[in-house]
Amino acid sequence: MTGEVMASGEGRNGWVRPLWAFLVCVSSALCVCVPSLFAQSQPMTTPTDNNTSLPDFDSLWDYGDAAATRKQFESIRARTPDAPASYRLQLLTQIARTHGLEGDFDAAHALLDEVETALAQAQVQSPSVEGVRYLLERGRVHRSGGAADKARPLFEQAFDMGQRVGAAYHAIDAAHMVAITVDSTDTRRQWSRRGITIAEASISTLHAVILK
């Protein structure tokens, strides 16, 4: 999310930047303090059958160096051929994101096509974290490529699905992306409020856990 905040160029909406910086800090802090709240939000280190752990690839993101990040992601992909499908598909969406940040939209779409095909072949009928991340990254590529009209509905779908699967971090991300995609100030504020509502609910849950 941070990379798109920095690159969004929403200078005409100066109030958006500090607001979303706050939401990023809140959601990130919650991921660290109470990882169980975000167990479905991010592919945190996951136990495997041989009692080892899969790399937490999200922690390796360097939005200032997409190429270096992609190199690490591709290495993980090569080393984890037997990882759960959800993990591998989420990783693939992030490799696509590195291409999008470099402006290589064809390569990004090609990888997202692979994810879309895999999701269809798996006949996934229920919402999933990999589905949320697919929608987010497809939307980001469309937006960066100048097709905001195609991006917005994908972000809105990601927001809805993220809430349904309990992926608060990604739901906040999706609300942010809608807010910086639309032109209407009122609509931007509405989507910002939706992100804040999720963050506030997560904070309330954190308080309840701490006070137990």
pLDDT digits (tens, 9 = 90+) for 168-206: 999 999 999 999 999 999 999 999 899 888 888 877 655
pLDDT of residue 53: 87
Instruction: Say which residue the tokens 């739901």 belong to.
Output: 171
- Comparing 112 with 202, which gets the higher pLDDT? 112
Bridge partners of 47? 53
- Cα–Cα distance list, 124 to 112, 121, 182 (Å): 16, 8, 30
Q: Is residue 166 over pLDDT 80?
A: yes
Whether the pTM exceeds 0.85: the reply is no
User: How are the residues of the chain apportioned to helix, strand and coil, as percentages rounded to the nearest 5?
Assistant: 75, 0, 25
Which of 15-29, 34-48, 130-144, 174-188 is most confident?
Answer: 130-144
pLDDT of residue 100: 98
Q: What is the pLDDT of residues 8-26, one digit of tens each?
A: 333 334 444 444 554 555 5
